[in-house]
Amino acid sequence: MSPKISAKSVDLTFSTNDGPVDALKDVNLDINEGDFVSFIGPSGCGKTTFLRVLADLERPTGGTVEINGVSPKIARESRAYGYVFQAPGLYPWRSIGKNIKLPLEIIGLSKHEQSERVKRVLKLVDLQDFENKFPWQLSGGMQQRASIARALAFDADILLMDEPFGALDEIVRDHLNEQLLDLWKTTSKTICFVTHSIPEAVYLSTKIVVMSPRPGRIIDFIESTLPNERPLDIRDSSEFISISQRVREGLRSGHSYE
């Protein structure tokens, strides 16, 4: 089976006033269909940049990236992925339902199909009663769920998520993590998830990519041995703790040369 997403010796150098910055250096990675991959590392390690490269929001300066066997640009034009940003990014003048319809209007779905999908995804993120509410009427966690619903409504089989729960408190975060795992299992999407929380990465992922800054690169690649069925208390198991330790050691070794 050919990989869903494949990156070969990807480099990305930003030119800044202080000279060139290596955001990504020689990144090689294969992601298979149905994987839940977390990217973890300190800020500046290029995890978000890599996700943006996959989304064709940044162009790499070297190497090749293929999504479904084509370039990120073509993948984007064929709407191969949904993207969830750090902030909800809901348009304040649109109700939640209308926000979710935004991508559907752009693809040009029929009105009927649009409302069907809105109903379906709102149910997935447990926001059925909020279709006609406006973003400011929702809490931060609910807004982020709405933005996930918007990405899901797009119904692409790849979901790119850039620290979607970074700004939320622990309790809401746990809840959303559980929901996200459920979603992943029921929809069998391929998910790339950027985070800087070790428990979040270990709890969610089938594969964990540990990254390090200056230059941004991959320093460890962990295949999770946890079962697919993951209650919240799996985080107290010894297996979970040993994977967390490996991630932590990777992060530490990435810092040690400074």
Partner 1 sequence: MRSVVSICVVVGALIFVWYLAAVSLNSTWALDKAKRAGLELGTKELILDTWSQEKPKLPAPHQVASELWKTTVEKKITSKRSLIFHSWITLSSTLVGFLIGTSLGILLAIGIVHNNAMNMSVMPWAIASQTIPILAIAPMIIVVLNSIGVQGLLPKAIISSYLCFFPVVVGMVKGLRSPDKIDTDLLHTYNATNAQKFWKLRLPTSMPFLFASLKVGISASLVGAIVGELPTGAVRGLGARLLAGSYYGQTIQIWSALIMAAMVAAALVGILALLQKVMLKRMGMT
Give the footprint of partner 1 on this chain (CB under 8 A).
55-57, 76-77, 79, 81-83, 85-87, 89, 91-93, 102-103, 105-107, 134-136, 154
Shortest reach from residue 255's CB to partner 1, in Å: 29
CA–CA distance, 23 with 140 (Å, rounded to integer): 30
Q: Give 135 or 141: the residue with its C-beta nearer to partner 1.
A: 135
Nearest residue to 34 via CA among 56, 1, 75, 73 = 1
Q: Give 75 or 127: the residue with its C-beta nearer to partner 1.
A: 75
Shortest reach from residue 133's CB to partner 1, in Å: 11
Q: Give 83 or 203: the residue with its C-beta nearer to partner 1.
A: 83
Shortest reach from residue 230's CB to partner 1, in Å: 29
Q: Give 83 or 165: the residue with its C-beta nearer to partner 1.
A: 83
Residue 226 and residue 243 in contact, taking contact as beta carbons nearer than 8 Å: yes
Shortest reach from residue 56's CB to partner 1, in Å: 8
Shortest reach from residue 4's CB to partner 1, in Å: 17
Nearest residue to 151 via CA among 80, 216, 211 = 80
Residues 6+ apart with CB under 8 A from 220: 208, 209, 210, 246, 247, 250
Q: Give 8 or 76: the residue with its C-beta nearer to partner 1.
A: 76
The C-alpha angle with vertex 161 and arms to 209 and 22, in degrees rounded to 5, equals 55
Q: Which two tokens stand for residue 240?
A: 């979970």
The C-alpha angle with vertex 206 and arms to 191 and 154, in degrees rounded to 5, equals 15
